[in-house]
Amino acid sequence: MASTRITNPLTRMLDSTFTKFDQNKDGKLDTAEFKTFNELLKPGIAVDETGKPKVDYSSRMDLDGDHEITREEMHATTVLMPAALTDPSLNMMLNYLNGLQDDPNVAAAAARLAADDDAAS
76-87 core/surface letters (b: 16 or more CB in 10 A; e: else) = ebebebeeebbb
Say whether pLDDT at 121 is over 50. Answer: no
Helix/strand number for the chain, H first, E second? 7, 2
| pLDDT tens track for 42-98 | 877 777 888 777 878 888 889 999 999 999 998 888 777 777 777 777 888 888 888
Do 25 and 121 contact (CB within 8 A), yes or no? yes
Phi, psi of 23 (to 5 degrees): -65, -35
Confidence of residue 22 (pLDDT cuts 50, 70, 90): very high
What ranges in the chain are assigned the alpha helix state H?
9-21, 31-41, 57-61, 71-75, 91-98, 104-114, 117-120
DSSP-derived letter for residue 106 is: H
Sorted by where each starts, the structural domains of the chain and their CATH numbers stand as 20-115 (1.10.238)
